[in-house]
């Protein structure tokens, strides 16, 4: 048996095309050009690639993508002032501070300072709170991208047992919140799951994963999840992007998963492109709400 490959790249391209059409219509109706500002502090190579990809995607969708590059030795006060300036700038609709910040900077204080109306990452406590209460304004980009992927491949989530492996604020926790909600961004079929939020200290992790109809792997450990840990026919969503030598691998051993699962996301070309597509969608939503 060989699983279906869930093509995140193609799905993201389709979503980006829809967003580009939405932007064209918004501007034709007299709206301002949506504008996303990325703040990149330091020289982290992976962050530089991510930010460049986000900016390119913005341009292709008709969204203005601005970048503030700050040196790694930037102090907290300078960064806080930049966030305050961007909050006050009416031409800016979305603010994204690329993580991780260099050591010595207080990430939490920076994220807390972003105006929730411009918080297109959905990292601020206000937006996290709305999600927790089942009434999100902005959807967190990676979890929302995963929901879109499942929806567009007609993989029902309602009533299924989803095991999310990884409890990060960016992926694991918001993923669990979205899937357990009564309604989802693509309707109730993409929500109403029974969710287990597992992590590195979960006892008998392999046994827990083996119970999953759908596995979302977001632990950041290369190929940690093996084929033998999966229930036959499971759907496997791999959020991991790990560099091993000159290869990029996920948190799941892809070749083994392909032999056991019914559907698997590749790395790269799976979840990553969807995260960017969702960011564009959030920026357009922010522009529309700020302009109205």
Smaller CB separation from ligand GUN, 96 or 117: 96
Q: Is 97 in the site for ligand GUN (CB under 6 A)?
A: yes
Asked if 239 is part of the footprint of ligand GUN (rule: CB under 6 A), the reply reads: no
Q: Which of 54, 173, 231, 285 is flagged as catalytic?
A: 54
The only residue of 82, 141, 179, 216 in contact with ligand GUN, by rule CB under 6 A: 141
Binding residues for ligand GUN restricted to 39-68, rule: CB under 6 A:
none
Of 107, 210, 122, give the one whose Cα is nearest residue 165. Answer: 210
CA dist list (Å): 145 to 45, 190, 275:
24, 12, 6
Backbone torsions φ then ψ of 221, nearest 5 degrees = -125, 120
> Is position 119 an interface residue for ligand GUN (rule: CB under 6 A)?
no
Say how many C-beta atoms besides its own lie within 10 A of residue 248's C-beta.
15
For 219, the enclosing helix (H) or strand (E) is: none
How many of the chain's residues bind ligand GUN (CB under 6 A)?
Answer: 8
Determine the Cα–Cα distance for residues 260 and 252; give it in Å rounded to an integer.
12
Q: What is the largest CA-CA distance in the chain?
A: 57
Alpha carbons 262 and 264: distance in angstroms, whole number: 7
Asked if residue 248 binds ligand GUN (CB under 6 A), the reply is no
> Which residue in 99, 130, 132, 186 binds ligand GUN (CB under 6 A)?
99
| The only residue of 3, 41, 57, 96 in contact with ligand GUN, by rule CB under 6 A | 96
Q: Which residues are documented as binding site for NADP(+)?
A: 166-168, 241
* Contacts with 90 (C-beta within 8 Å, 6 or more apart), sequence order: 290
Q: Is 121 a catalytic residue?
A: yes
CA 65 to chain centre: 18
The single residue among 3, 170, 212, 239 that binds ligand GUN, judged by CB under 6 A, is: 170
Question: Which of 7, 121, 213, 223 is close enough to bind ligand GUN by CB under 6 A?
Answer: 121
SS3 173: helix
Q: What is the CA radius of gyration of the chain?
A: 19
CB of 241 to ligand GUN, least distance (A): 9
Does 280 help bind ligand GUN (rule: CB under 6 A)?
Answer: no
Q: Indicate the residue whose CB is closest to ligand GUN.
A: 99
- From 90-98, 218-226, 227-235, 240-248, span contacting ligand GUN (CB under 6 A): 90-98
Q: If you search the block for the tokens 């960016």, which residue do you land on?
A: 170
By CB under 6 A, tell whether 213 contacts ligand GUN: no
Binding site for ligand GUN (CB under 6 A): 96-99, 121, 141, 170, 275
């Amino acid at each position: 048996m060989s699983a279906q490959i869930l093509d995140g790249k193609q799905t993201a391209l389709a979503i980006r095309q829809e967003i580009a059409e939405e932007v064209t219509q918004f501007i034709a109706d007299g709206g301002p050009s949506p504008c996303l500002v990325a703040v990149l502090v330091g020289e982290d190579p992976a962050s530089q690639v991510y930010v460049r990809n986000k900016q390119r995607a913005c341009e292709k969708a008709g969204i203005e993508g601005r970048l503030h590059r700050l040196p790694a030795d930037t102090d907290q006060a300078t960064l806080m002032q930049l966030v305050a300036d961007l909050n006050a700038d009416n031409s800016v609709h979305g603010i994204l501070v690329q993580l991780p910040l260099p050591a010595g900077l207080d990430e939490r204080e920076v994220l807390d300072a972003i105006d929730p109306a411009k918080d297109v990452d959905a990292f601020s406590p206000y937006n996290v709170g709305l999600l927790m209460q089942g009434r999100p304004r902005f959807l967190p980009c990676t979890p929302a991208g995963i929901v879109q992927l499942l929806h567009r491949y007609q993989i029902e989530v309602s009533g299924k047992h989803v095991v999310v492996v990884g409890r990060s604020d960016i992926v694991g926790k918001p993923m669990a919140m979205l899937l357990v909600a009564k309604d989802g961004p693509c309707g109730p079929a993409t929500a109403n799951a029974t969710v287990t939020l597992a992590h590195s200290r979960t006892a008998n992790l392999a046994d827990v994963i083996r119970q999953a109809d759908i596995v979302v792997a977001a632990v950041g450990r290369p190929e940690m999840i093996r084929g033998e840990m999966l229930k036959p026919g499971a759907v496997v969503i791999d959020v991991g992007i790990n560099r091993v030598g000159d290869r990029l691998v996920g948190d799941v051993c892809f070749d083994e998963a392909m032999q056991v699962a019914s559907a698997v996301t590749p790395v790269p070309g799976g979840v990553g492109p969807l995260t960017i597509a969702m960011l564009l969608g959030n920026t357009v939503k922010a522009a529309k709400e700020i302009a109205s």
